[in-house]
Every structure is written in structure tokens, then in C-alpha cells.
Amino acid sequence: MILKQDKLKIKLSSFLAYLGLVTVLLTVSCVNTKKKTYENTADIPVNREMVAELTAPPHVPTPVGKRLAKKLIVNMEILEKEGEMTDGVKYVYWTFGGSVPGSFIRTRVGDEVEFTLSNHPDNKLPHNIDLHAVTGPGGGATSSFVAPGHEKTFSFKTLNPGLYVYHCATAPVGMHIANGMYGLILVEPEGGLPPVDKEYYIMQGDFYTKGENGEPGLQAFDMNKAVDEDADYVVFNGSVNALTGDNAITAKVGETVRLFVGNGGPNLTSSFHVIGEIFDNVFVEGGDMINENVQTTSIPAGGAAIVEFRVDVPGTFILVDHAIFRAFNKGALGMLKVEGEDNKTIYSGVVQEGIYNPEGGGVQTMPDDGKAKQTVATTEKTLAEKMESGKQIYMQTCFACHQAEGQGIPNAFPPLAKSDYLNANVDRAIEIVLKGKTGEITVNGEKYNSVMTRQSISNDEIADVLTYVYNSWDNNKTNVTKAMVDRVKSGH
């Protein structure tokens, strides 16, 4: 006979044994569900399917964070479309996703990417895509050659973390790249990149046109210039003003900024620099190696880099290719506008907005009696046409010294607005633009002793820019003609 007390002991013993078994099972379960690391990233399994978020520059998709590897569906359309290289200059771009550079693709290590490339039926040419993140023949180019009105699908596994260029590789390869067919694909490491406040997508490219820099109208691609590496434009994100003015990227004081910077080429190496900032971290060539406290980083054609920095003071910070004539004369210039409170401990200088601006292709020399390059005007322009042309020339060649409203810079460059010196003698003004000027002059009662460089622009362009100046800012509204410039130049 088992006593009631013994029955309780048996039940308690059974319960404790059960608890022990549960503990063992839970321990085993925890061990089995612990995140597994893979020595070979090709072995990382994918978890479900998702459609990739694609973005046009300067925007980037949402960071991958700690998500598992996925079957990532990428759908990209090729579009051949007309766009604006700079004011008055049109160009037919060949694009991935309708933008230059093409859509930003964001993945993580271990993703299985199913890539569908569509060639719009209105396009004229076949295209393909070579992604530097792909391990396989042609980086996908051999599997993606597609005619207008068709599409191709292929897959690849992302094996190596980093920031990679993609581009068209259809012959002639250089022509397809030079017309804007390049972009970036990011492969984040497992667990994602460290979080920052702002991320932006910037890509440099060099363009070659039949007309010279700034020559208006629809410009065709010039193969001979491209072979000679004689670029008319070197730009960020496909055009001269893609990252200036209202298109500038932004941040606030105290924020951390990450720039994904690529170089589509096809020819020139970028010396990427942000004026007034120091890169805290540079992921060299878009890979794992991190360099710290960097002023300028070199990005080869077909290469990329990730740069990170914290913005500590407000103002407009200028992004350039520090091969500096490319920035100010060919267009490789952008702006980062930072808002917030001043920090006088870090920087106490006077803020002066608007000094930095692309200056265009006008060639300037020190004053002499040399002859400026001539072009022949085929028809007489209307005043409105001359004003439009003159404003463009002014913004390219005169803006930095005389400023947007002709106000000049105190104690340095005289004003053109309401200028008694300018309005008193039109022929003198023409001669100064033709030959340049040194020495002291008095404008509106103030003395200036600076140098006016000789402008190597045509007589027709001189007439246009002076007409713009004389018909702006309360000046005397003189309509300067090419004949007037010809007369002054000939000495009559």
C-alpha cells in the first residue's frame, strides 16, 4: 500500500524529471537556432523573395539592416531619352532606369538576385549590363544582351561586400558608357553598414560632344574626342547643375553623412573632394579597407568609394573633382547645404554665399593685345535672344567676380549694377572685355585696383553678354551689336 505522502513524493520526482527534460530540449533548441556563420558566402541560404527598391540619384534605397538574405527581384528598364547637359545644351542620354547614373541597387551578401533587363521598344539600339558585383562571364553581359522591345532575365549570387559599378558592355563599349550607361550596386555585409543620418548617391562621368562646352542646341556624341579623352563636360549625376542650387543635397549640423561615390568614366579618374570637410572614413575603392582623415580620394574610371563625415558647422560645402578645371570649367561641381547653429570654436569666418559656381568653357587670359577667337553669326538675334544668351555667358564667365546681381565684391571687384563707369563709355567696356584691364579705376565713387582678365569668347558672345549687363540692374539699356565689337576691335 502506497501512502498519500509517498504518492506526493513520486509525483514531485516525476515533475522534476520532466522539467529537466524540458531544459535539455530548450538548450538543444537554442544551440540549433543560433545564427550560423558561413565561411563561403555562396552557401548562405535565401529566405523568401522580395522586390528590390531602386532609386534615382542622388537618393539611395533603404539600408538592408539585419535582414536575412533574400531572393531579390530587380527589374530595370533601358531608356534612350533627351535631357539637358547645361542651360541651352541638350543631349540624348542612354540610361538604366531613366537617369544618369542609373538606378541605385542595394543588396546584401548572400542575396540571390534575379535580374530582368528590359529594352524599351522606342529605343534604337541593343544594350546589356555588366555588373562588377557579379562573379560570372562578362559580369552578366553575356546573359543580358537585349534588343529594343525585348527583355532578358538572369540570376547571380552576391558573394563579396562592397560598392560596385555597373555599365553597358555592348560594342562599342566606350560609346555606351560615354552616353550615360553606368550606375552603382551596393552589396552590404551581413548585419548591414553602421547607421548614419544621411546617405546620397553621386557618380561622375565625362561627356564628349560635337559642339564645344556651352555651345547651345542638341549635341551629338563625338567619338574622336572620346578616343582622345578630350572631354567637353565632366559632371556629377549626368549634368552640370545636377547637384547645385535647388538640386543640392542637404544635411543639418551634427548629422553624419555617407556618400556613395562612383566614377562611370569612360576615361577620366576622379579626385573627389568636399571643400571645407575632411572625410572621417573612406572605404577605399569601395572595399573593406577603411582610411581615416582623408582630404581627397582617388576614384578610377569604373571604380567607387564610400566616404563618411560629420558636418559640424552650417554653410554650403562644395563637392568637386579636384582636377580643378573640370570642376569650374567643365561642370564637376556639386553642393551640400548644411543648416544649423554656428560653432564659433570650429569656424568663425564670414559666410558669403554664391561664390562657387560652374564657370563654363570660357578661356580667360591675363590682359594683352592678343586677338580673341572669332565665330561668324549667321543671323541677327532679337534682344530677347541676346539677353538669354548673354545671361548664360555671364553666369559662366563673370559671375564669380561680379556676382549674380552685378553687385561685385567690396574692395575687390567693382559693381556692374548702376555703374557710372560702365554706362559712361560703351566702347571702353567692349575694349576691356576684348583685351582685359589692369590698374586703378573709380566706380560709383569707390576706387578698385584689380585685374580684369581678357575673355577668349567670340565678338558675337561679347555683344550678347554686354547687352545683358547693360539691360540689367538699372543700367542704360544699350543693345551692343557684333558690328560695334568688330569696330572697337579693329581700332576704328
> Which residue do the cell numbers 568614366 mark?
265
Is 176 marked as a binding-site residue? Answer: yes
In whole angstroms, give the CA distance from residue 163 to residue 106: 9
Give 8's contacts (C-beta < 8 A, 6+ positions apart): none
In whole angstroms, give the CA distance from residue 130 to residue 142: 8
Note the helical H segments in 253-372. Answer: 324-330
Pairing of strands 290-294, 279-283: antiparallel
Backbone CA torsion sign across 85, 88, 90, 95: positive
| In contact, 333 and 358? CB cutoff 8 Å | yes
Is 150 marked as a binding-site residue? Answer: no
Grid cell listed for 66? 539585419
What SS3 string covers 426-473?
HHHHHHHHHHCECCCEEECCEEECCCECEEECCHHHHHHHHHHHHCCC
Contacts 24+ apart (CB under 8 A), 215-220: 215/89, 216/88, 216/89, 216/389, 216/392, 217/88, 217/89, 217/90, 218/82, 218/90, 218/91, 218/92, 219/85, 219/89, 219/90, 219/91, 220/92
Grid cell listed for 164? 560596385
In whole angstroms, give the CA distance from residue 262 to residue 105: 13
Neighbours of 222 (CB within 10 A): 17
Is 322 marked as a binding-site residue? Answer: yes
* Residues pairing with 152 in the sheet: 117
SS3 297: strand
Can you say which residues are annotated as belonging to the binding site? 127, 132, 167-168, 176, 181, 322
Can you say which residues are annotated as belonging to the binding site for Cu cation? 127, 132, 167-168, 176, 181, 322
